[in-house]
Amino acid sequence: MSFRLAEGLARAGVTIVSGLARGVDGAAHRGALRGGGPTIAVLGSGADVIYPPEHLRLSQDIAGAGAVVSEFAPGTPPSGWHFPRRNRIISGLCQGVVVVEATDHSGSLITAKRALEQGRDVMAVPGGVLSGRNRGAHALLRDGARVVETADDVIEQLGLDRRRPREGENEANLKVADPILRAMLAGEAYDLEALCDRTGLDAVRLLAKLAQLELAGWVQRIGGGRFVKAGANVLR
């Protein structure tokens, strides 16, 4: 299910963020790669220390199509407390979090909690009830998380455009469709407050979208916490 969701979302142009762990995480990264989209792996070790080690080749594929990132210094080995800590970065990079499977004490619930604190959307995939492997996800659903069965459910919840840009399509036309880029004049720098006023977005959602635009190369962060369209000559 993780693979199928990530593949479908990647084909729609969505960047997939996960933690490179065994199981759901690895499947999400592989699905994103199969879908031809970028994916980001957030590690609980230094970015040069791949864990689990059997995901070394996967991490190389991810780096070639997206990024492998960590807040820990190079050479830092994995440690149990690193993984719950890094989950706030996973949720912080995202507009929404999908819990595919979670027990009562799953690390995925930590990510979901951080996502709610950060103002992100939280969604969950329903599963079987006999094994207990999805009790945590079902608890999220009882608390109001959106049910996810297909990639379209995620796209609809986040209000994303289902259309993926065709190769060679005019990038200027794509930029016009984005409310943030549409609100930014070429050559002018904006702070967060100004962009909130011009777009009508709250600061939390705006920062998430700005991070996505930065990763896509359409927005550049400059001094003083200001943003400018990438490649523009900034009016100081």
| pLDDT for res 76 | 97
When mean pLDDT is compared across 66-70, 85-89, 158-162, the lowest value belongs to: 158-162
Task: Show the tokens assigned to 121.
Answer: 């959307």
Structure tokens at 46: 């230094």
pLDDT of residue 33: 94
Q: Is the pLDDT of residue 26 over 90?
A: yes
Give the model's confidence band at 161: pLDDT under 50 very low, under 70 low, under 90 confident, else very high. Answer: low
d(CA 168, CA 164): 12
Q: What is the predicted pLDDT for the residue at 231? A: 58
CATH of domain 2-158: 3.40.50.450
pLDDT tens sequence across 164-220: 544 444 444 444 457 888 888 878 899 989 999 988 888 888 888 888 788 777 888
Residues 6+ apart with CB under 8 A from 17: 39, 40, 41, 42, 90, 93, 94
52 prior amide bond cis, ω within 30: yes
Question: How far is Cα 158 from Cα 122, in angstroms, rounded to an integer?
Answer: 10
Parts of the chain belonging to CATH 3.40.50.450: 2-158
Residue 79's contacts (CB-CB under 8 Å, 6 or more residues apart) are: 44, 45
In tens, the pLDDT along 114-123 reads: 999 988 999 9
Residues of the chain with CATH 1.10.10.10: 171-229
**Structural tokens at position 20:** 């490179």
Architecture in CATH for domain 171-229: Orthogonal Bundle (1.10)
Sheet holding 146-147, edge to edge: 96-99, 121-124, 146-147
Q: Which residues of 11-43 are buried (b: 16+ CB within 10 A; e: fewer)?
A: bbbbbbbbbbbeebbbbbbbbbbebebbbbbbb
Q: What is the pLDDT of residue 163?
A: 53
Confidence of residue 224 (pLDDT cuts 50, 70, 90): confident
pTM assigned to the model: 0.70
Structure confidence at residue 134 (pLDDT): 87
pLDDT confidence bin for 236, thresholds 50/70/90: very low
Cβ-contact 206, 199 below 8 angstroms: yes
Whole-number average pLDDT of the chain: 86
Answer whether 18's CB lies under 8 Å from 39's CB: yes
In which element (H, E) is residue 214 found? Answer: helix 203-215
SS3 186: coil
Residue 23 reports pLDDT greater than 90: yes
Does residue 68 or residue 174 have the better pLDDT?
A: 68
User: What pLDDT score does 174 carry?
Assistant: 43
Q: What is the mean pLDDT of residues 147-157?
A: 93
Give, rounded to a whole angstrom, the gap between the first and last alpha carbons of the chain: 49
